[in-house]
Amino acid sequence: MSAPWVVLVADQIAPEGLAPLASDSRFTLVKKPVISGDELAQAIATADAVLVRSATKITRASLAHADRLRCIGRAGVGVDTIDVEAASERGIAVLTAPAGNTVSAAELTMALLLSLARKIPAADRSMRAGEWERKAFMGFELHGKTLGLVGAGRIGGQVAKRARAFGMHVIVYDPWLTAARAQELDVSLATLDEVLTTSHVISVHVPLTSATAGLIGAEQLARTRPGTVLLNVARGGVVNEAALLEALQNGHLGGAALDVYEKEPHPADSPFRTLPNVVLTPHLGASTAEAQLNVSVEIAEAVRNFLTSGDLSNAVNKDRVRTPA
């Protein structure tokens, strides 16, 4: 079709992040942040592209009248809020911004690990209560410990580099990681069973797919060494929460740190909230000013490049996409 292309901005995205589109006369931006239901479906019906973050959900109903729509841009990496199958059936590209939040997510992982290792949240609460309980907060050093990574893509690879700086030995289960890349990261390739049975710390860094759903369940947790701590800054559902809860409550695991959950927002009555050896954060992996700007610019560029030249580099459904007319 002829320009200008109409891009619906259906979520809160900073103007600076939209610059690749706003500065190009071939695009018209329609800003309707955080809309849903019929209003979202009607707005999508007149758009060539729609941009969202995590608040706005693109469902099958949202796409009911999307005859004009060519792409959905997710300012981030997770697509669990987008019905990719429904989009693919219509030939609509689903684009993501996988690189923009890499450093922020890796740094959060290390922050959570240090919080667990040195019991910082509990010590902080104790100090605020007027106490001075040094003996209650005996922790452990990262130096000399083995970190087992389940997944070593962009974020996992950055976690590996930071863990090595702390003097940790890093082993990785990732069927896609080449020997050359492992050598570059200074990590050892391992099977999932080796990661489970030999690691002091296990950190998950894989997307939620049909292959990874429940990847770490009761059977896997039972194979971990007593006192192991587990971190999930990837996606809820990769770790079975019921199995994790049991392993924490029976004392087999030494602790856990979670930034993502099977259900978000995480239920107020969740038993994880009552456990002293658990650190919880509300999906903060990309919650830095730098990451939000980076993913916004990245997805704006991806949408621009797809509409103007058919570039599918950022598409998660490349094989089912209509090229822009």
Q: Quickly state the pLDDT bin for 54 (edges 50, 70, 90).
A: confident
Question: Catalytic: which of 169, 235, 266, 304?
Answer: 235
Instruction: Report pLDDT digits (tens) over 96-105.
Output: 999 999 999 9
Instruction: Report pLDDT digits (tens) over 209-260.
Output: 899 999 999 999 999 999 999 999 999 999 999 999 999 999 999 999 999 9
What is the model's pLDDT at position 34? 82
Q: Which domains does the chain have, with CATH numbers?
A: 5-100+289-320 (3.40.50.720), 102-280 (3.40.50.720)
**Edge-to-edge strand order for the sheet containing 255-258?**
188-189, 169-173, 146-150, 201-204, 229-232, 255-258, 278-280
Question: Catalytic: which of 194, 246, 262, 264?
Answer: 264
Q: Please indicate whether residue 235 is annotated as part of the active site.
A: yes
Instruction: Report pLDDT digits (tens) over 166-195.
Output: 999 999 999 999 999 999 999 999 999 999
Q: Quickly state the pLDDT bin for 88 (edges 50, 70, 90).
A: very high
Question: Catalytic: which of 53, 169, 283, 304?
Answer: 283
What is the model's pLDDT at position 77? 87
Q: Please indicate whether residue 283 is annotated as part of the active site.
A: yes
Mean pLDDT of the 77-83 span = 90
Residue pair 262/236 in contact by the 8 Å Cβ criterion:
yes
Q: Please indicate whether residue 246 is annotated as part of the active site.
A: no
Q: Residue 160: what residue type?
A: A
